[in-house]
Homo-oligomer: A and B are copies of this chain.
């Protein structure tokens, strides 16, 4: 039961480098407990927000995987619109350090002074790092292998407090401070000094949920360790298996390779995207991945995935 805390992903773009008439470059909006995380921001992302009736002013954290244009060319426009619509809330961007230079030069020459504070957290592509943390969520960067420095991102709920059996609690006299201890997994005392065993009054909370975003990357087996057993995995799948050589050359993956990673990492569900413009229909991507990992879906524009 996570009814009070959403964990939901909206796909805003599923295209590889060259967009098509109906596929936009990469962008995803993740809502964990009303924290809205934008993951990559290809050209047209601000229009995709409007199309799918999502509010970009809710986003306080933007994660950019790498500096190929199809993953960040929508950022200057989005930052500008946030400003023009009167944003005051701070915005933090997690990205390779060179992005700051590009944004600053663009703002300088367009005479732009943002109405809100903007911070950068620079990512490193060779090590795992905790790059964001609050009381409910933590985000780690994941090293990927692409032609330029690239990271994936792992979004994890923090462990939830233990569930207290309210029926049993009603029969006891216990202070708020002791209830808090019970929620944290400790034993407690009632108002008369009697020990209450944690296991007698609490149940396990739901397992913390997790989402791993991996784009763009070639197939490499070391990735499995970083995304082990996540509930939902996005893994790029630029090509079909018949273009395996092309995938290797360009440091991208095939649908089969994405599925192989999902299978070996024992994730619950796989979603695939970043489809090359050469493919009209995406049916073969799904069919190919499912031969290896049946619980696969296409991460196409407007799809939502709830955990």
A contacts, CB < 8 Å to B: 17-21, 24-25, 43-44, 46-47, 50-51, 67-70, 73-74, 76-77, 80-81, 84-85, 96, 98-99, 101-102, 105-106, 109-112, 147-148
Q: Is the CB of A69 within 8 A of B73?
A: no
Q: Is the CB of A50 within 8 A of B80?
A: no
Residues of B within 8 A of A50 (CB): 19-21
Q: Is the CB of A67 within 8 A of B109?
A: yes
Of all chain B residues, which has the CB nearest A85? B18
User: Can you give 15 contacting A-B residue pairs, CB < 8 Å?
Assistant: A17-B84, A24-B47, A43-B46, A67-B110, A69-B80, A73-B73, A73-B80, A96-B109, A98-B109, A101-B105, A102-B102, A102-B105, A102-B109, A110-B148, A111-B147
Of all chain B residues, which has the CB nearest A71? B110
**A41 CA to B27 CA, complexed, in Å:** 21
**A110 CA to B98 CA, complexed, in Å:** 9
Do A112 and B77 form a contact, CB below 8 Å, given A43-B44, A46-B19, A106-B102?
A: no
- Total copies of this chain within the assembly: 2
Of all chain B residues, which has the CB nearest A73? B77
Q: Is the CB of A110 within 8 A of B68?
A: yes
Q: Is the CB of A109 within 8 A of B105?
A: no
Residues of B within 8 A of A81 (CB): 17-19
Residues of B within 8 A of A109 (CB): 67, 96, 98-99, 101-102
Q: Is the CB of A17 within 8 A of B80?
A: yes
Closest 4 CB pairs of A and B: A98-B109, A43-B77, A21-B50, A44-B44
Residues of B within 8 A of A74 (CB): 43
Q: Which listed residue (B18, B96, B110, B148) contacts A84, Cβ 8 A? A: B18
Residues of B within 8 A of A106 (CB): 69, 102
Residues of B within 8 A of A43 (CB): 43-44, 46-47, 73-74, 77
A46 CB to closest chain B CB (Å) equals 7
**A99 CA to B105 CA, complexed, in Å:** 10
A215 CB to closest chain B CB (Å) equals 15
**A98 CA to B74 CA, complexed, in Å:** 20
Residues of B within 8 A of A99 (CB): 109
Q: Is the CB of A148 within 8 A of B17?
A: no
Residues of B within 8 A of A19 (CB): 46-47, 50, 77, 81
Of all chain B residues, which has the CB nearest A106? B102
**A44 CA to B43 CA, complexed, in Å:** 6
**A80 CA to B106 CA, complexed, in Å:** 18
**A18 CA to B20 CA, complexed, in Å:** 23
A296 CB to closest chain B CB (Å) equals 27
Residues of B within 8 A of A85 (CB): 18
Of all chain B residues, which has the CB nearest A147? B111
**A213 CA to B49 CA, complexed, in Å:** 30
Residues of B within 8 A of A102 (CB): 102, 105-106, 109
**A51 CA to B105 CA, complexed, in Å:** 31
